[in-house]
């Protein structure tokens, strides 16, 4: 009897042990399956974001083709290729005191620079920033510009010496959609960024400001109305005469460059003393079937306020990179419990800002503590295991690398259009290395390039891959800060009466 009981107990223990073992094995199998799902999401992302050099060269060609089409006719391309009427870039000989005013959103700033005729020497640089009162963003054009003119008057009144100079010259950076009519005039197409002053759409922006300056008793002339990218090119050219293009790559992105006037077919008969003109590409709207698009890009675009618009910008600019990463992490969370229970914060659009994404990407601590901190602070995801943190870093890397390499392809597209990529004029068996390649400078402004080390390194790497080392060594990318301020003041100097 006792033996029977013992035997029965042993069998029961064995059965229980087998059951526990089966549970453990089952958990491991389920865990492995969930991990495999996460790995598959990452693999699909890597394949969707593929930017091998062959593909980048296709993007280069597509950019150059779209530039040609945009110069040939209005509406002929996704690239607007807007004429700026700037044909006289600053060259370093400018002298005197000039002002700039930048209205870029909910703040505006006024700036004064003093030039002494020596390139790269800006001996005085004063800036004052002011918020735009909320009610003025939906009031009248007179109310808005009277407020700005009053602020400029106060700024000028603070000048230390009491001498009254000749008429002052002002450059105006107006970061809203404008149809340029001349270097110092342009018609407002529409408001963005929360402004809605109905009586201003269709009117000349510079005239509205000039009238307000007159009402305030200021002897100040609006000498130039410019886009901030054009200001970056002006500042770049002032410092280095070999500067032929400018790129802004920060929250948003845009590009402009110096084009031969006879290549602007849609404005036949237009003549300039220099034989060239700066063209504002509005390249954020560039699109090509060669761009590597993922389901995350498609969803982001569909849910944006401007679907089917600004496709290139949505893949490469700081406004969007963090949100693409968020969408990938959300997908991984839905497919597995790697990040624990699904946090509601993962479903909040744009909750992960790109600067924080960059901090995660560049976290070099052994336990990736910055990644853990940001996942906790932003998404309220606690105790993320190290292997999950490593996956997040990899996602950031894939998204950033694609963005930087596509930006590089866009830059080479511009160089190709103007014959500065080493391919122009090759005939009769001449190799690229036989050509005399001109030194070519591209001015770059924006935190994504200047502050994000890995983005910058990936962009440079792609530039060399596309152009080849022999050509790439002649192309210099220069960080150029405050084109919308100093650059605009320099254009006021170039076009002073």
Q: Which residues are identified as catalytic?
A: 109, 175, 228
Rounded CA-CA distance 144/479 in Å is 33
Give me the DSSP letters along 285-339.
G---TTS---HHHHHHHHTSSSTTSSHHHHHHSHHHHHHHHHHHHHHHHHH-STT
Q: Helix or strand or coil: residue 100?
A: strand
Q: Helix or strand or coil: residue 459?
A: helix
Rounded CA-CA distance 173/153 in Å is 18
Rounded CA-CA distance 43/295 in Å is 13
Rounded CA-CA distance 74/205 in Å is 22
Q: In the chain, helix, strand, coil percent, each to 5?
A: 50, 15, 35
- 129: β partners: 109
Q: What CA–CA distances, in Å, run from 212 to 93, 98, 144, 177?
A: 31, 19, 9, 21
A 10 A CB-CB count for 140 gives: 13
Q: What CA–CA distances, in Å, run from 128 to 106, 133, 148, 220?
A: 14, 16, 12, 18
82 near 180, Cβ under 8 Å?
Answer: yes
Q: What CA–CA distances, in Å, run from 232 to 99, 238, 477?
A: 16, 10, 13
Q: What CA–CA distances, in Å, run from 312 to 6, 167, 252, 403?
A: 75, 43, 10, 9
Contacts of 183 (CB under 8 A, 6+ apart): 84, 85, 86, 223, 224, 225, 491, 495
Contacts of 108 (CB under 8 A, 6+ apart): 101, 102, 129, 130, 132, 148, 151
Q: Helix or strand or coil: residue 5?
A: helix
Contacts of 236 (CB under 8 A, 6+ apart): 243, 246, 441, 442, 443, 478, 480, 483, 487
Rounded CA-CA distance 402/399 in Å is 5
Q: Is 454 exposed, middle or buried (0-12, 13-18, 19+ CB in 10 A)?
A: middle
Q: Which residue has the tokens 């060269």?
A: 57
């Amino acid at each position: 009897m006792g033996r029977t009981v013992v035997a029965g107990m042993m069998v029961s223990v064995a059965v229980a042990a087998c059951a526990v073992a089966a549970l453990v094995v089952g958990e491991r199998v389920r865990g492995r399956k969930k991990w495999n799902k996460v790995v598959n999401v990452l693999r699909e992302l890597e394949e969707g974001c593929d930017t091998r050099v062959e593909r980048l060269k296709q993007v280069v060609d597509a950019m150059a083709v779209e530039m040609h089409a945009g110069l040939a006719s209005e509406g002929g391309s996704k690239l607007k290729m807007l004429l700026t009427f700037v044909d006289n870039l600053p060259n370093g000989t400018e002298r005197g005191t000039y002002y700039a005013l930048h209205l870029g959103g909910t703040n505006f700033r006024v700036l004064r620079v003093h030039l002494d005729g020596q390139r790269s020497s800006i001996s005085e640089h004063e800036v004052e920033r002011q918020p735009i009162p909320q009610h003025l963003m939906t009031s009248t054009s007179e109310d808005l510009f009277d407020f700005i003119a009053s602020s400029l008057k106060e700024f000028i009144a603070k000048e230390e010496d009491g001498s009254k100079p000749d008429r002052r010259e002002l450059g105006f950076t107006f970061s809203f959609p404008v149809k340029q009519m001349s270097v110092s005039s342009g018609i407002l197409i529409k408001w963005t960024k929360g402004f809605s002053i109905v009586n201003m759409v269709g009117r000349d922006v510079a005239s509205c400001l000039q009238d307000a300056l007159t009402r305030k008793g200021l002897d100040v002339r609006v000498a130039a109305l410019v886009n901030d990218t054009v200001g970056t090119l002006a500042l770049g050219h002032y410092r280095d005469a070999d500067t032929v293009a400018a790129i802004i790559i920060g929250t948003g992105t845009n590009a402009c460059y110096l084009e031969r006037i006879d290549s602007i077919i849609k404005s036949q008969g237009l003549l300039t003393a220099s034989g060239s003109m700066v063209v504002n590409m509005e390249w954020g709207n560039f699109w090509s079937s060669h761009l590597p698009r993922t389901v995350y890009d498609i969803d982001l675009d569909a849910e944006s306020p401007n679907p089917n618009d600004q496709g290139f910008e949505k893949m490469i600019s700081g406004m969007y990179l963090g949100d693409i990463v968020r969408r990938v992490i959300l997908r991984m969370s839905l497919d597995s419990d790697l990040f624990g229970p699904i946090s509601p914060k993962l479903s909040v659009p744009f909750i992960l800002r790109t600067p924080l994404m960059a901090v995660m990407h560049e976290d070099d601590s052994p336990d990736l503590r910055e990644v853990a901190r940001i996942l906790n602070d932003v998404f309220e995801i606690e105790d993320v295991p190290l292997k999950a943190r490593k996956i997040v870093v990899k996602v950031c890397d894939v998204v950033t690398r694609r963005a930087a390499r596509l930006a590089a392809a866009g830059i080479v597209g511009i160089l190709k259009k103007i014959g500065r990529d080493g391919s122009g004029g090759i005939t009769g068996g001449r190799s690229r290395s036989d050509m005399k390649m001109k030194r070519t400078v591209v001015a770059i402004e924006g935190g994504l390039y200047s502050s994000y080390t890995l983005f910058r390194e990936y962009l440079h790497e792609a530039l060399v891959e596309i152009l080849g080392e022999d050509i790439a060594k002649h192309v210099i990318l220069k960080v150029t800060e405050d084109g919308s301020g100093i650059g605009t003041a320099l254009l006021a100097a170039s076009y002073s009466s």
